[in-house]
Structure 1
Amino acid sequence: MKQKIYMNRELSWLKFNERVLAEAQNPQVPLCERLSFASIYQSNLDEFFMVRVGTLVDQLLIDREIRENKTKMTSQEQLDAIIPEVKRLNRKKDTIYEDLMEKLEHYGMKLVNFQKISKKESEYLRKYFKAEIAPLISPTIIAKRQPFPFLKNKEIYAVAVLETKNGKERLAIIPCGSGVFPRLIKIPGKDAYMLSEEIILHYVPRVFKGYHVKSKCLIRVTRNADIDADALYDEDLDYRDFMEDLIKKRRKLAPIRLEYTREMDGESIETICGYLHLSTDYVFHSRSPLDLSFVDGIRDCLRGESELFYERRVPQKSPQFKDHKSIIKQIEKKDKLLSYPYESMRPFLNLLREAAEDEDVVSIKMTLYRVAKQSQIAAALIEAADNGKEVTILMELKARFDEENNIRWSRRLEDAGCRVIYGLDGYKVHSKLCLITRKTKGGIRCITQIGTGNYNEKTSRLYTDLSLMTADEGIAEDAANVFQALSMGETVQESEHLLVAPNCLQNRILDMIDEEINYAKAGEEAYIGLKMNSLTDKKIMEKLIEASCAGVKIDMIVRGICCLIPGVKGKTENITVRSIVGRFLEHSRIYIFGAKGREKVYIASADFMTRNTLRRVEVAAPVYDPDLKLQIIEMFITMLSDNQKAKEEDSEGNYKRPENQDTPLNSQEFFYQQAYDQAMERKNL
């Protein structure tokens, strides 16, 4: 039987989410952090259904014979494979959750139900329900004059089958997520809590007096969020108004999944699905709560128990910058690199603040994709505009699920006098690019910053990312061309130093892979090292297979989706794939081409996905400084040696702990300790 070399994208993503769930089960992870990983698994799955499953269902409406280009599976075949796998993973999640909650009882934290409390406590909850919850809920009984209500995306509802005195059945629904009462209800006199939806469900008979409650359960609907903004955009509309309307539409899209707890007879479930116009294939039973976001409240209650949490880590000062000296002058003297979250973002923030006040600075141009709600970066840009600088911002309003925040900031930036551009037709602007232009006595001088992650102070403490700052004139010229093209609603057609999608990134990557193939064919050592979030671009994968067959050694660190299966004899046997899932979200993208002594090193905003390489504006920057180049290569080698948080993909597409069981190495903890040690050395100088 011919061995597969490609894996379906959606099934590969589910394997990634299983690696997230594995951290919830990992006894080496502190207990409250394990609970967070269970919650992350669930929120990841929500988005997977809203976007990816939603896309597949939409494809069925268009053409049932559409096939994806790697495994040639139809949309229906993909859905048929996804559903049983999700059910398997959810059963695993339920077991892990129950185990975690049982362990938390040793720390005095109990989440109880009505079978686990005394009569006195039950009486307290009855009074609490009557006084604090009942006045705020809006129960509905479905009838001819009372149609089935709209169920909000991801909100929890109590559902009951009611029987009238004459034997007729009615369906009743109570929303459980008003936001007015807390989700975690404290039971007086003990360290125990109950979820508000459990209280509502228990007192359903008190809400619907005069009816016999035949059965009841909690349900949660997930709605399709897959909207193609560019396909719907009317150019006669204000783009911000259009995006706001799009967000409202997303909230009302068709249901894509129904989850429920407790036991409800199949006929009632079918009735609910009928109202939702949803196939029963997309119904999932859960033993654990339908929304695990309440675990943040549990974490807050247990903050005093330090062993339940990761050791506190704080981003450190970068040894590359000197205090109380001009950031601009330091960058002009030598390129700088920040590594988040191990090093603080402060030097970059200080760069923007200095640029806002520097009399020589004439303009700041920047792309913004996901901005923090309380953004110091946006505040610095507003200050620059107030000081008379020309500030041009490419604000990507199509950053999925961050649109509202971006819209709000775009208005504030515009009101401050910034020129705000709202992306391009047909392309998302996903690049992380900043260009500061100064007019000095010596002529025009520029500082260019290129990053792998968003300009977001919050995520810079949670995601691993790299930020390069350089005074290189060639890079600045390419960056200026990128911004000029964006200002004209166009994309860059060619560039010398930067790799810029959609027109000059994928083709340049293929050329550099070809260079390594030629070295290998000439009998010389050839090497490619790649780190990214996802790998789905078939054209690049085909070229990597060709390189492997030619004898090029290829090491890849791919956190999430990886559609290329390594280690397949005669095809990908020279390729290794690892995924690191740990305390911090691996987000940096690194491309290394060339064996030792001739390496070309890039950092980038782009994964090797077709959407990134051909349908977005992305930027990869060369690292020319020898010290920084070596630093990135050493980081990459360290991550390849991780044997604690890394999983290695085998030739069957399964992920396992690496066989290298030498000295335990958690690369993320290694980098943080390194940052602390360097900060201490600097302090002692």
Structure 2
Amino acid sequence: MAGLPYADRDLSWLSFNERVLDEAHDPQVPLASRVKFLAIYSANLDEFFRVRVGILRRLAALKAKQRTKHLPVDPQIVLAEIADAVARQQQRFDTLFTNDICPALRRSQVVLYRSEPFSDAHRQEAAQYFRSTILSYLQPVFVGTSRRMNRRDKLPLLNSQALYFALTLRPKAPASSDDSLIAYLNIPRDKLDRFVELSPIEGVTHFAFLDDIIRSNLSIVFPGYEVEQCLSFKLNRAEDTTIQDEYRGNLVKKIRMQLAERKTAPPIRFLYDPTMPPDLVEQLVHVFRLSNHDLMAGGRYHSLSDLMKLPLTKLPGLAVPTLVPLPAVALDPYESLFDAIRQQDRLLHFPYQSYSYVLRFFNEAAIDPLVYDIQVALYRIAADSLIANALISAARNGKRVTVFVEVKARFDEANNLRWAEEMEGAGVRIIYSLPGVKVHAKIALVRRLSAEDKRGKRGKPLHFGYLSTGNFNEATASVYTDFGLFTCHSGMVKELGKVFGYLKNQKVVRHLKHLLVAPFNLQQRYVSLIDREITLAKQGKKARLLLKLNGLEDPVMIDKLYEANQAGVEVKLLIRGICCLVPGVAGISEGIEVIRLVDQFLEHSRIAIFHNGGKPEVYLASADWMNRNLYHRVEVGFPIYALGLKHELATLLDFQLNDSVKARHVDEQGHNQVVDPVYHSPIRAQQATYDWLKAHG
């Protein structure tokens, strides 16, 4: 099947991020949520540059022969297309923020000072806050004059993600030279709130950027100088650094070294105020050792991901309707979750249903005198993790607790290391990252003795498994949609023990009948399940495949989906983010439908439903169909056997397939197209899911 079409993964991701921007543009979305979507868009784009653009730059620096091993398209071409797409989106962002969001805030009795001067009362208030609080965090740095720069190796290192002002200054007193002085000054957003609430005026709430309070008080920072120019800039560094030779030496030590190296990583994007004069840009390029391809004109303000912290929802009239997590009413009557799980498999839907049941599972295991062994694999955990605290309590209560901690989870390395050390200090056996792979599985196994019978004898120990599509993170569980399965199915928990055996001693996982475990059998099993649908289609029978993923990039799986479509299999894809499959291509994918859903919650769950001649097989998984997940990570997919749960999942996915409010069809060009309603009443999948679970418990 030569010559099959594939969309570029990075341009596809930018299409997803533009879909986020669409939510900020939608006047039907509550205003506070529109501001939140602006913040999400900005945060997403920041990480994209720090990681993906950094990787592409490294590939572009390779020789042509080396590049083709990693990327089918010249990375320079991709980088140029990225620059064009980002510039277009950024212009849309700025226009939306300036001409739509800020005026809408004013109509809602909220003023966000931007470039306009403070009122007299607020000027005094801002000056007082500046002198009492902000001033202690400022570090002005003189870099030289407009003609002569100081030695670059004597200047402090610019921090990635930090904000700065570039300034040109002229002495008020007569000077021996006409040269302007050049300096830069930090904007301490890492120490102070980016948005400062000022006193209300006639019932109108006012906020000021931290940046502007500093701007209005520069005479205090630079006494004796007249400020000629004050323009903001920001530097992103490439933060996807590679660990050299994971197979030898102390991996944790190498992770710590990697974290330190990020502070000195190469520049990847230098964002600057578009009104900055070219000569000042050129001087900063020299001072900070930048190259022209690092330069990108931004807006007056950078790092607008901070809009997430603008406290709008606390203001009258701007509160966003929330879906209060529902109880899992079938579990509540049980005094012990273990008793509930023994009765049947239990499936939870986050964040629609409360995450407290997962916390309860670990808390019960920590104090239950019959529990003797707990094993968990942690990828990303909350900064104030209740689960980690429960594991610490379990160890102190005499349980044997083993925790695999993935310290290579990007941008969570420091938090994971901190918790690993704290748990280890409490007696938890900690296993750190495996060389060459990341462990992305979200699994736990609890072993428990049977209660004594009347004769004082015990039966076989009972094993309880928890398998999920999402992290053990109670913070993200409130905004990410995920599934969590509690089970004591003998086959699944036995194979779960094999997975933990691999994490402990790297013994290859074999003879799996129930679980799909990457990199051992997950991809192969999915291929065989698609092949079965292809066979059924060729026999003239109904064949159908439904996939819900965050990302679809692996060419082997894409080719198999193309093959299935050409054989007559009905293929429907719910892909939130990257989708390298190109739908709608005649003779290849004209029957494949790709739907992207962006709404209040981040769609994060992964599910595959294979029709199987009317006897559907259903799998949930931690893995997307990306090259990294299928071949270079430890992932776990798990079956849903109970007919009632299969029906439940099919019903909820049907809401997403028929969403006519927040869903978009992804077309052949990767654009997000509005969906025409199928039913008379519009369907909004996330609200429909909540309502269904509320009605059915």
Q: Same fold (TM over 0.5)?
A: yes
Residues 1:607 and 2:619 aligned together:
no
1:476 is paired with a residue whose SS is helix
Output aligned runs, 1:202-217, within 5 Å: 202-204=216-218, 207-209=221-223, 211=225, 213-217=227-231
1:588 maps to which residue? 605
The Cα of 1:120 is off from its aligned counterpart by 5.5
Distance in 2, Cα, partners of 1:395 & 1:10: 29
Per the TM alignment, residue 187 of structure 1 is displaced from its structure 2 partner at its CA by 4.1
SS in 1 for 2:373: strand
**Range that drifts further, 387-396 or 527-536:** 387-396
**Would you say 1:363 and 2:370 are equivalent positions?**
no
* Larger CA deviation: 45-54 vs 372-381: 372-381
TM-score by length of 1: 0.93
User: What secondary structure does 1:225 align onto?
Assistant: coil
In the alignment, structure 1 residue 244 sits paired with structure 2 residue 245: no
Which residue is 2:444 aligned to? Answer: 434
Q: What corresponds to 2:290 in structure 1? A: 278
TM superposition shift of 1:262: 5.3
Deviations 1:491-532 (A, max 9, x none): 424422100001211111111111111111111111111001
Distance, in Å, in 2 between the alignment partners of 1:281 and 1:492 is 46
- The question of whether the paired residues in 1 share the 8 Å contact of 2:60 and 2:67 is answered with no
Q: How does 1:289-438 map to 2 (within 5 A)?
A: 289-300=301-312, 302-306=313-317, 308-438=318-448
**What residue in structure 1 maps to residue 166 of structure 2?**
159
Question: Match of 1:656, SS?
Answer: strand
The CA distance in 2 between the partners of 1:412 and 1:198, in whole Å, is: 41
Say if 1:438 and 1:288 are closer, same or farther in 2 by CA, change over 3 A: same
Where in structure 2 are there 5+ consecutive unaligned residues?
145-149, 451-457
Deviations 1:187-211 (A, max 9, x none): 4453323212123234445544555
Residue 309 and residue 571 in structure 1: after superposition, are their counterparts in 2 closer, same or farther (change >3 A)?
farther
CA shift for structure 1 position 116: 3.8
Q: CA RMSD in A?
A: 2.3
- Equivalent residues of 1:153, 1:251 under 8 A apart: yes
> 1:71 Cα deviation (Å)?
8.3
Secondary structure of 1:570's counterpart equals: coil
| Partner SS state of residue 581, structure 2 | coil
Contact 1:262 1:287 in 2 (8 A): yes
Alignment of 1:468-617 (within 5 A): 468-595=485-612, 597-617=614-634
- Residue 628 of structure 1 and its aligned partner are, at CA, apart by 0.9
What is the aligned partner in structure 1 of residue 455 from structure 2?
Answer: none
Q: Greater shift after overlay, 262-271 or 339-348?
A: 262-271
Q: 1:458 to 1:119 in 2, by over 3 A?
A: closer
Q: What is the alpha-carbon distance in structure 1 between the residues aligned to residue 654 and residue 224 of structure 2?
A: 70
**How far has the Cα of 1:340 moved from its partner?**
0.4
Q: Which amino acid aligns with 1:257?
A: R
Aligned to 1:49: 49
Post-superposition offset of 1:347: 2.3
Q: In the alignment, is the contact (CA less than 8 A) between 2:247 and 2:436 conserved in 1?
A: no
More displaced 10-residue stretch of structure 1: 124-133 or 374-383? 124-133
Match of residue 266 from structure 1: 278
Q: CA deviation at 1:664?
A: 0.9
Secondary structure, in 3 states, of the residue corresponding to 1:443?
coil
Contact 1:385 1:417 in 2 (8 A): yes
TM-score under structure 2 length normalisation: 0.92
Deviation at 1:614, TM superposition (A): 0.2
Match of 2:35 in 1: 35
Aligned 8 A contact 2:437 2:632 in 1: yes
Q: Which moved more, 1:188-197 or 1:604-613?
A: 188-197
Aligned equivalents of 2:610 and 2:126: distance in 1?
A: 64
The alpha-carbon deviation at position 252 of structure 1 amounts to: 2.3
Q: Distance in 2 between matches of 1:222 and 1:393?
A: 34
CA contact (8 A) 2:373 2:401 kept: yes
Q: Give the aligned residue type for 1:40.
A: I
**1:219 aligned partner:** 233
Quote the Cα distance in structure 2 between the aligned partners of 1:111 and 1:152.
Answer: 27
Map 1:140-151; keep pairs closer than 5 Å. Answer: 140-143=141-144, 144=150, 147-151=154-158
Deviates most, 440-449 or 217-226: 440-449
Q: Distance in 2 between matches of 1:255 and 1:216?
A: 22
| Identical residues among aligned pairs (%) | 35
How far the C-alpha of 1:387 sits from its partner, in A, is: 2.2
Deviations 1:387-410 (A, max 9, x none): 222111111111111111111111
Q: Hey, what's the Cα distance between the residues in 2 that align with 1:131 and 1:359?
A: 55
SS in 1 for 2:506: coil
CA contact (8 A) 1:526 1:551 kept: yes
CA distance change for structure 1 residues 245 and 124 in 2, over 3 Å: closer, same or farther? same
What is the count of residue pairs matched by the alignment?
Answer: 674
Question: 1:163-174 residue pairs with structure 2 within 5 A?
Answer: 165=175, 166-174=177-185
Deviation at 1:485, TM superposition (A): 1.3
- Alignment CA distance shift 1:189-1:639 (3 Å): closer
**Displacement after TM superposition at 1:60 (Å):** 2.2
Q: Secondary structure of the equivalent of 2:388?
A: helix
Looking at structure 2, the residues matched to 102 and 66 of structure 1 have their Cα atoms a distance apart, in angstroms, of 51
* Residue deviations 1:239-290 (CA, integer Å, cap 9, x gap): 4333223212112211110112251111221221233333333322233521
Within 5 Å, give how 1:48-67 maps onto structure 2: 48-64=48-64
Shift of residue 121, structure 1, vs aligned partner: 4.3
Q: Alpha-carbon deviation of 1:127? A: 5.5
Rounded to whole Å, the distance in 1 between the matches of 2:417 and 2:44 is 24
- Unaligned 5+ segments in structure 1 are 680-685
Contact in 2 for aligned 1:581/1:646 (Cα 8 Å): yes
Query: Aligned in 2, Cα 1:244/1:113: closer, same or farther, shift over 3 Å?
Result: same
- Deviations 1:169-188 (CA, angstroms, capped at 9, x unpaired): 44210111165554333444
Distance (whole Å) between structure 2 residues aligned to residue 178 and residue 105 of structure 1: 24
Which residue type is aligned with residue 215 of structure 1?
Answer: Q
Q: CA–CA distance in 2 between the matches of 1:619 and 1:181?
A: 41
State how far apart, in whole Å, the 1-side matches of 2:518 and 2:302 are: 40
| Partner AA of 2:184 in structure 1 | I
Counterpart Cα distance in 1 of 2:71 and 2:566: 20
**C-alpha displacement at 1:330, in angstroms?**
1.6
Distance 1:69 1:451, change over 3 A: farther
Contact 2:407 2:416 in 1 (8 A): yes
State the distance in 2 between where 1:501 and 1:220 align: 40
Secondary structure, counterpart of 1:583 in structure 2: coil
Whether the 8 Å contact between 1:4 and 1:565 is mirrored in structure 2 is no
Letter in 2 for 1:332: R
Secondary structure class of the residue paired with 1:423: coil
Secondary structure of 2:310's aligned partner? helix
For the structure 1 residues 385 and 568, does the alpha-carbon distance in structure 2 shift closer, same or farther, using more than 3 Å as the test? same
Taking structure 1 as reference, are residues 288 and 326 closer, same or farther at Cα in structure 2, changes over 3 Å only? same
- Which position in structure 1 is the counterpart of 2:147? none
Rounded to whole Å, the distance in 1 between the matches of 2:465 and 2:377 is 12
1:682 alignment counterpart: none
Please list the CA deviations of residues 460-510 of structure 1 after superposition, one character each: whole Å capped at 9, or x if unmatched.
111100011111111111111111111113442442210000121111111
The residue number in structure 2 matching 1:683 is: none
Do the aligned partners of 1:335 and 1:470 also contact (CA within 8 Å) in 2?
Answer: yes
Which residue pairs with 1:656 in the alignment?
673
**The 10-residue stretch of structure 1 (206-215 or 634-643) with the greater mean CA deviation from structure 2:** 206-215
Query: What amino acid is aligned across from residue 104 of structure 2 in structure 1?
Result: K
Change (3 A) 1:178 1:329: closer
Once the two structures are overlaid, the 10-residue window that deviates more, 377-386 or 111-120, is 111-120
CA offset digits 1:142-162 (Å, max 9, x no partner): 133674431111111110134
Q: How far apart are 1:113 and its partner, in Å?
A: 4.5
